[in-house]
Structure 1
Amino acid sequence: MAVGFFDQFMSPVFHGIPLMAIAILAPWALILSPPPKWLTNRFITLKSSFINQFTKQLFLPISLAGHKWALLFTSLMLFLITLNMLGLLPYTFTPTTQLSMNLGLALPLWLMTVTIGMRNQPTVVLGHLLPEGTPTPLIPVLIIIETISLLIRPLALGVRLTANLTAGHLLIQLIATATLVLTPLMPLVGALTAGLLLLLSLLEIAVAMIQAYVFVLLLSLYLEENL
C-alpha cells in the first residue's frame, strides 16, 4: 500500500526482480512485426500506416543525409509511446517518470548528433557559439551562454519528459483519491469528480503520445543542425 503520493514513482521490486526492467522489455513483446503475407490484419495495417505517416512528417524538414536515422527515431518514438501508455494502466509502473532513464536516452543521442556535426562541419558547429557581428566585449559572455545552452539540451529533454508525465500521474492520483473520499459523503460531487478524472485520463493519454513525439522531434532538429 502506498504511504505517499510520490511512492508510485519509485521503481518497484517483485521477488528480487526490478519491475522497471520488465516494463522496458514490454514494448518489444507488444509491438507485432508484419508477417510475410500479402494480407494482414487490421491492427498491423493501422500500425504500419501510423509509422509511415509519422516518419514522413518527422523527416519532412530534414535533409536527405538525416533520413538514415529514420529507423532509430521511429523505433524510439514507438518505444516511448508504449512505455507512457502502459504506465496509465492500473498496477503498472512507468519507467519514463524516472529522470535517470530519460537522461540515459537523451544524452547518448544528443552526443551522437554533436559528434556528427564536429566530424562533418566543425567550423559551422563552432560558429553557432558566436553569432556574426557580435561586439568584441560581449564575445566571451556569448560563448559561455551558447555553450551552456548547448550542454543543457539533453537535460532539458529528460526533464521535460519526466516533469510532464510525473505531473499528470500525480494529478490523476490526487483526483482519484478525492473521488473515493467524496463519493460516500457527497455523491453528486463525487460523480462530478469522477467525470473530471475521466477527462484528465483522456488528456494524459494525449500527453503521453505528444511528449514522446516532442522528445523525438527535438532530437531530429538537433540532428538537422549538425548535418
Structure 2
Amino acid sequence: MNLNFFDQFLSPQLLGVPLILLAMIIPPTLIFTTTNRLVPNRLIILQSWMVFMFTKQLMTPLNKPGHKWAAILLSLMLFLLSLNMLGLLPYTFTPTTQLSMNMGLAVPLWLATVLIGLRNQPTISLGHLLPEGTPTPLIPILIIIETISLFIRPLALGVRLTANLTAGHLLIQLISTATFVLLPTMTTTAALTFIVLLLLTGLEVAVAMIQAYVFTLLLSLYLQENV
C-alpha cells in the first residue's frame, strides 16, 4: 500500500500518450492571443512589471559582466515555476521531483559560473578556497574543506528542490487518502481533514513558487562570486 503513494511521481498515460503533454499544451492556448495593440491588456503589463522587478532584484548585487545572465536566470525561474505549478494539476506529475532532472539543471549552470570565474578572474576565484588570515597549519585542511563545499553546491541545489517538492506532494497524497477513507465512517473528522488538505494545497503552491525563486537566487549568488 505504501508503494502506491509514489505512483504520483510517474507520468500518467492514456493510450500510450503522456497526459503531461496535453497539460502543457492547454495553458498556452488559453493565455496567448493575437492582437494589433501595442499593449494588449493589463495582464501583459502586470507580467512586464513582475519581470522587471525580478530582474532588478537579481541583477542589482551583480557586477555589470554578470548582467548578461539576466535572460538565462529569468528563463530558468519561469521554467522551474511552470514545472512546479504544473505538478499541482490533476493527471500530471511534477518533473522537478526527479533528482536527475534537477541535477541536470544545477550542475551545468553551477559549472558555468565556476568556469567564468576561473577564466575572468582566476586569482580571486582560487582565493575563495583559502580565507584571508588563515593560520599556516590550517591551510591544507581549509583548502580541502572549501573545495568539498564548492563541489557540494550543485548537489545541494538539486536535492533541495527535489526534497521540498517530493515531501509536499507525499503529504498531500497521505492527507487526501485519509480524507477518502474517513468519509464513510467519520464524516466530521473527514471534513476537518479536508480543510487541512485545502490549506496544505495552498501552502504547496507557495512552496512551488518559493523553491523556483530560491534555486535561481542561489545560482545568482554563485555567479556573484565569479564576476
TM-score computed with the length of structure 1 as normaliser: 0.90
2:110 maps to a residue whose letter is W
Cα deviations by residue, 1:120-151 (Å, 9 ceiling, x for unpaired) = 11011111111122222221111111001000
Output the CA distance in 2 between the equivalents of 1:57 and 1:9. 33
Closer, same or farther: CA 91–16 of 1 in aligned 2, 3 Å: closer
Corresponding residue of 2:47: 47
Identity of paired residues, percent? 68
Cα deviations by residue, 1:51-98 (Å, 9 ceiling, x for unpaired) = 111111121222222111111111111111111001001111110000
1:34 shift after superposition: 8.7
Corresponding residue of 1:5: 5
1:218 aligns with 2:218: yes
What SS does the corresponding residue of 1:4 show, helix, strand or coil?
helix
Structure 2: tracts of 5 or more residues without a match = none
Alignment of 1:81-160 (within 5 A): 81-160=81-160
Structure 1: tracts of 5 or more residues without a match = none
Output the CA distance in 2 between the equivalents of 1:24 and 1:221. 33
1:12 shift after superposition: 4.6
Output the CA distance in 1 between the equivalents of 2:34 and 2:210. 25
Output the CA distance in 2 between the equivalents of 1:81 and 1:133. 42
Closer, same or farther: CA 9–149 of 1 in aligned 2, 3 Å: same
1:32 shift after superposition: 4.3
Give RMSD over aligned pairs: 2.4
Closer, same or farther: CA 35–72 of 1 in aligned 2, 3 Å: farther
Deviation larger for 9-18 or 136-145: 9-18
Give the aligned length.
225
Closer, same or farther: CA 136–17 of 1 in aligned 2, 3 Å: farther
Corresponding residue of 2:206: 206
Output the CA distance in 1 between the equivalents of 2:141 and 2:70. 37
Deviation larger for 11-20 or 203-212: 11-20
1:58 aligns with 2:28: no
Output the CA distance in 2 between the equivalents of 1:27 and 1:221. 35
Task: Check whether the contact 1:19–1:93 (CA below 8 A) recurs between aligned residues.
Answer: no
Output the CA distance in 2 between the equivalents of 1:116 and 1:67. 13
1:203 maps to a residue whose letter is L
Deviation larger for 156-165 or 36-45: 36-45
1:190 aligns with 2:190: yes
